[in-house]
């Protein structure tokens, strides 16, 4: 059932309250309801985007070169970040969960084996087919194991969870979704339990809900903001001001410092997108083995083939020029890809249409063959094509890295002196990359160049001079979409905000679900792991049979709201 605002909550008596209806919140709430729990799912936004509600997430970002604007990091609407998500699903590696000297921090209090049973369910909710993430290339058997090219990334057939699950959210008997319901704080009892959750809505609407169990799944930054606001009221809470809350903010490094020439036709073909037996779009990429990473102290990373920048018409490819011209028109581009991806491919500056039109004219037979086939595969057939990969003449490609961001204590979010329209303190975001992130990535490329030469599979060509590589990587590093680390797991309150079951230390009925609990970022996009953790949490919550009531206070207390 969907109720439009908090004034409709008077008869709600769920077992569990989930704050945030993004990919993690929706999948968690649905799984809990399917397991027989009654669930109240709260969403700050509406079914459609609203600028006034989106502005609630405005923050002071210290360096906009390293962190995307908040409207590209947070979406206050049903579906949350899935409205911005491209759909890539990749699990974290076993190595990511282990203690490593390069991290200089305790590892995860769980292992990859603890999470593995929940990956199939997470894949099902995200619509990316079977939880199979390895596939060898027939006829290519390489004896040097330092790098592998059989690791798969999978692509969701339905990446926007608002669209995928709207019908079930509307029809579920066990689940009540309340839109326009912004959680602004908690009230704690003398035993440390959350006694009530304070809600605000448009037109100064106010409510208090009193669930027995609460899961905050509001996205990495907004979840952290809510806990920081609670800590501001009682500074010793959550490890105190010098504790881990808000610290170790991580994302990923993504870019290109080299090109690759593939010598093997089989490898060239095997690294393209294809649809597996479930109709899911998948793709292979290069990955340095765990043994190599441990031996040399490397950060985790993947390397994948990329075509030339589509905004540069010197590529001479009509299909790439057509893609650029389409994406460069914002209303049209947003129909094809999320805004974050559109901006990545189009870049800034003026659109130079004439040279791209010449590319299309010269390459018209190729364009006319390619375009109808791609539209059919992406929008008509069940097997959804995520994207396309144009094979380059001479098999020369840009080599795109997607790499681990180390947890730095001073890469963090804090509360600023400003407040939003509901009175909640805004965030100040000091997101940092350092040379410790870039240097291992350069060593990975050097090892990869040696491996290519030894196997005869290809040749790596650096596109950035040796002395400039660290600076180049740092200058071109930007994230804020993958919001990890700021409510990290840990064995104790001194090292983590939540325990191995995602329960907040010192608050027995408060849990966190989402990317902010990660202890390391790995190379993997964070959505699949976050949903798998949510499925594990659903199992934990349904094992503990606790019955509770939700009470709603309809009259606002005497609190000034700016």
**Residue 196 and residue 210 in contact, taking contact as beta carbons nearer than 8 Å:** yes
Q: Indicate if the pLDDT at residue 558 is higher than 60.
A: no
pLDDT band at 398 (very low <50, low <70, confident <90, very high): very high
DSSP state of 174: S
State the burial class of residue 323 (Cβ atoms within 10 Å of its Cβ: 0-12, 13-18, 19+). buried
Half-sphere exposure of 143 (CA within 13 A, CB side): 2
Strands 39-42 and 16-19, sheet pairing: parallel
CA gap 54, 69 in Å, rounded: 12
**Residue 106 and residue 99 in contact, taking contact as beta carbons nearer than 8 Å:** yes
H/E run at residue 205: strand 205-209
Higher pLDDT, 22 or 139: 22
Q: What is the pLDDT of residue 314?
A: 84
Work out the average pLDDT over 331-339: 80
* Tokens read off for 99: 């203690």
* Tokens read off for 257: 């410092």
CA gap 499, 497 in Å, rounded: 7
Q: What is the pLDDT of residue 58?
A: 97
> Tens digits of per-residue pLDDT, 451-469?
999 999 999 999 999 999 9
Higher pLDDT, 128 or 380: 128
Handedness of CA 66, 62, 24, 80 (dihedral sign): negative
Higher pLDDT, 93 or 379: 93
> What proportion of the chain, given as a percentage, has pLDDT over 90?
74
CA gap 282, 427 in Å, rounded: 37
Domain boundaries of the chain, sorted by first residue: 1-61+71-85+160-248+410-431+481-562, 87-154+252-307+389-404+434-476, 310-386
Q: What is the pLDDT of residue 455?
A: 96
- Cα 386 off chain centre by: 17
Task: Reduce the DSSP state of residue 488 to 3 states and report it.
Answer: coil
The partner residues of 429 in beta bridges, in order of sequence, read 61, 413
Q: What is the pLDDT of residue 543?
A: 81
Q: Which of 48-52, 124-128, 356-360 has the lowest mean pLDDT?
A: 356-360
Of 96, 71, 91, give the one whose Cα is nearest residue 81: 71
pLDDT band at 14 (very low <50, low <70, confident <90, very high): confident
* Tokens read off for 547: 């019955």
Cα separations (Å) of 220 from 225, 313, 349, 415, 485?
9, 38, 31, 15, 8
> Tens digits of per-residue pLDDT, 282-324?
999 999 999 999 999 999 999 999 887 888 888 888 888 888 8
Give me the architecture of the 1-61+71-85+160-248+410-431+481-562 domain, per CATH: 3-Layer(bba) Sandwich (3.50)
Q: What is the pLDDT of residue 143?
A: 83
Task: Reduce the DSSP state of residue 470 to 3 states and report it.
Answer: helix
The residue written with tokens 């976050």 in the block is 530
The average confidence (pLDDT) of the chain is 91
Q: What is the pLDDT of residue 559?
A: 33
**Residue 425 and residue 229 in contact, taking contact as beta carbons nearer than 8 Å:** yes
Q: Indicate if the pLDDT at residue 393 is higher than 80.
A: no
CA gap 209, 418 in Å, rounded: 26
Q: Which of 195-199, 212-216, 379-383 has the lowest mean pLDDT?
A: 379-383
Expressed in percent and rounded to 5, the helix, strand and coil fractions of the chain are 35, 20, 45
> Tens digits of per-residue pLDDT, 142-181?
889 999 999 999 999 999 999 999 999 999 999 999 999 9
SS (H, E, C) 279-302: CCEEEEEEEECHHHHHHHCCCCEE
Higher pLDDT, 485 or 342: 485
> Tens digits of per-residue pLDDT, 44-64?
999 999 999 999 999 999 999
End-to-end CA distance of the chain: 32
């Amino acid at each position: 059932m969907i109720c439009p605002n908090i004034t409709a909550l008077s008869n709600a008596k769920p077992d569990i309250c989930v704050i945030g209806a993004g990919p993690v919140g929706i999948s968690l709430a649905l799984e809990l309801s399917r397991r027989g729990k009654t669930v109240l799912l709260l969403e700050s936004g509406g079914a459609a985007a609203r600028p006034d509600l989106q502005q609630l997430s405005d923050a002071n970002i210290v360096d906009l070169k390293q962190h995307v604007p908040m409207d590209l990091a947070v979406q206050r609407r049903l579906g949350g970040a899935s409205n911005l998500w491209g759909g890539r699903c990749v699990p974290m590696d076993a190595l990511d969960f282990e203690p490593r000297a390069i991290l200089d921090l305790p590892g995860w209090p769980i292992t990859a084996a603890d999470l593995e049973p929940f990956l199939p369910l997470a894949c099902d909710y995200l619509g990316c087919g079977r939880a199979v993430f390895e596939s060898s290339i027939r006829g290519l058997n390489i004896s040097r194991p330092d790098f592998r090219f059989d690791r798969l990334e999978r692509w969701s057939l339905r990446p926007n969870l608002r669209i995928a699950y709207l019908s079930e959210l509307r029809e579920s008997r066990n689940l009540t979704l309340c839109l326009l319901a912004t959680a602004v704080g908690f009230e704690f009892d003398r035993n440390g339990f959350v006694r009530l959750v304070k809600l605000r809505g448009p037109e100064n609407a106010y409510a208090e809900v009193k669930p027995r169990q609460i899961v905050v799944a509001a996205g990495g930054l907004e979840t952290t903001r809510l806990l920081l606001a609670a800590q501001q009221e009682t500074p010793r809470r959550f490890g105190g001001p010098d504790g881990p809350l808000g610290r170790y903010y991580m994302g990923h490094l993504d870019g290109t410092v080299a090109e690759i020439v593939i010598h093997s036709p089989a490898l060239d073909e095997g690294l393209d997108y294809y649809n597996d037996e479930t109709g899911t779009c998948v793709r292979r990429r290069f990955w340095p083995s765990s043994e190599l990473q441990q031996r040399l102290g490397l950060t985790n990373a993947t390397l994948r083939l990329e075509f030339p920048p589509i905004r540069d018409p010197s590529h001479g490819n009509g299909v790439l020029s057509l893609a650029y011209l389409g994406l460069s028109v914002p209303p049209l581009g947003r129909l094809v890809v999320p805004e974050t991806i559109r901006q990545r491919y189009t870049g800034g500056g003026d659109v130079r249409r004439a040279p791209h039109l010449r590319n299309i004219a010269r390459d018209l037979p190729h364009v006319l063959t390619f375009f109808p086939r791609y539209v059919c595969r992406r929008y008509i057939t069940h097997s959804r094509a995520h994207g396309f990969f144009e094979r380059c003449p001479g098999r020369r490609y840009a080599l795109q890295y997607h790499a681990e961001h180390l947890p730095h204590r001073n890469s963090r979010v804090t509360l600023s002196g400003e407040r939003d329209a509901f009175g909640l303190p805004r965030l100040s975001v000091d997101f940092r990359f350092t040379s410790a992130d870039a240097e291992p990535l350069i060593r990975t490329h050097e090892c990869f160049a040696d491996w290519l030469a030894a196997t005869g599979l290809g040749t790596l060509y650096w596109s950035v001079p040796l002395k400039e590589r660290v600076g180049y990587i740092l200058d071109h590093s930007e994230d804020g979409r993958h919001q990890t680390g700021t409510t990290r797991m840990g064995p104790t309150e001194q090292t983590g905000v939540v325990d191995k079951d995602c329960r907040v230390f010192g608050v027995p009925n408060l849990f966190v679900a989402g990317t902010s609990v990660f202890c390391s970022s790995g190379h993997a996009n964070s959505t699949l792991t976050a949903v798998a953790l949510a499925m594990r949490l659903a199992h934990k919550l349904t094992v503990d049979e606790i019955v509770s009531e939700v009470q709603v206070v309809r009259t606002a207390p005497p609190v000034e709201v700016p």
